[in-house]
Chain A
């Protein structure tokens, strides 16, 4: 493995590593636009120039492989001059739309200008005008003037999705990003071009003008959209909630994980967040003479713990949307303590789109986790037993019977039951069937883990407190158990 010197530091890296990667390993930042570790190297922006001893000219660090004994300078006067000049060149026709640009605050032009630019503009000519605010697909907006022609988006469509929608047309200062005639940037991963665009040329329609990025808080989490378990960051509006009344989550962004999703997430997962804040069940409800009434948690716990005296008439259907902690609590309470026989998980969204890259057909995040905890997919048997009258009490986690069984069948099933308890985050139509509807927290509102389809256990973190009076399933079950005199000690 060659050893080289960058800014006086000795670094050992494998053969073929580029200088920029070697520098990153040593904690030295080299500014760059076109280089992206998830894409091929284009070497067109020239922002990453460094000085290599014994080379007459400056070299682009993204494309120059290291050699034994190489001596690199990233901070010399020549490099600084070059960085400033490149930046000035890239910004010659730039519109400086920062006040209206959604990228503002996380823009590499802004960042690098403050770090490596700081020159006064010398431009006397009129700037070249290009297309602005063009919709190039269902999720992406293009602003031609803001583009620095790094070609990351083009390479993404060529190399990652192989859909080839984008290209660069014309030459010189007229060069512009275009979408292939008759096409749209409409693939299952199109949102990623917004993430990799280092400037505000590609912006997300879903996020457009919703919130300034500096008002956002970030919480690391895992996408609950399918069993791949892509690592994500939840960006939510912490500082200015009145700007987006009733909406806390502003967007989801991929979080790098070399083993799961690399830099990407699919669009299904990316825009799969509006349900976090919409249609939520806010208070525990009890049905009295057919009409739902709000009750306090104490009332609910008190009454429901009484049901634990009849475990042989009980059925439990958990969902694969629950975290391992919640599932473990259900397992401990119903299986280990109460010895309920009819405990199962049910898949609700088990056959969706699947592809080579990330998307899995199982659209729930924790099927492997449920299986590992001993739950089996035998909800069908439970429904049969309900019809036969052997099960009188059903604990249902998150499921909508109306959706699963259809309206008539669900109502029939309901009539066989004595008590139906639904724990779930949403106030869907199926909730009306329940005698007890208990609001539970969604994944963004709790800590825990999901096990992805490969068996990889990944952590999710609580971004904000549960909406309304909701509590996590774990807390609800633990409290109910406590009231029934069962103490469960779980550290998951």
Chain B
């Protein structure tokens, strides 16, 4: 299955500011992220052969579809092929995988991968409805389910089966807000204590306001290149050594287990096997913490910690930047922000910075192997990538 693929590397990354960017439109954010990626001067815009752009719900958020053509136009890259990729909150990660596949296949040598979402032009209620589209409209949303409610059900099962506590979940938010203090593009630069999270008020019990990721505007762009060429162009090339993706039922009711995300486990298995790596080899990971319980599920399902021990590991500091594995040094979805289509691409940008040793005060010391994990909906899509210095 994996034979005859070419090696692919990231040679540049660029991010817009993440937050409530009222002064910037969707098209300005994606153009600025691309400009930053190209400012490293490793490639010229005219060398880019194709674009893959992840966006979840631009029709609902800004009344704009046909995002592939829009991005090519905004980047001044007409007439190259430009394709929108949608997989709910995993749109960015799946766009990265499409770009990876396009270069690995030999069809292109250099492609741009983008991700963007403009979420704050609509009311919070409209944004929640747009995000609800990641779940099952007919059997979940119809009955009054929200995304916090779906993850709350997963949280309750985890608490029942493994003794995970609300404090353990809160510790993920506390750590991610701490990490974001050192990330200039992060939405929040504010520390919280476990007590702050515990007192933040239930949204869907047991999840509270500060267990939830925010509504965010943002864009991210990566330039991918075939690895032998990448090494000639740049001394910062980061090789994508493994890529995995899996699907599961859209609704929670169709899952085999409610204490793990099978799609994450499968995507990780495939990506790690392709990378010839084990979970223990990972120094730094950006995982999908749309809710604090999602980070606990992720660090277990990715194999960093034994099933059921993720909450204890998090509360014990094992996922801090200098812990067993640095989890979400960017601040994660929780504190860096979660512009849904951009998130999966931003995660890869953070690993690009970490493995090049240019992540500043949030740098994991001697990081050699990195991983990203992006989830769509309540676990119906999961995409995992593994990286190392080329």
A binds B: no
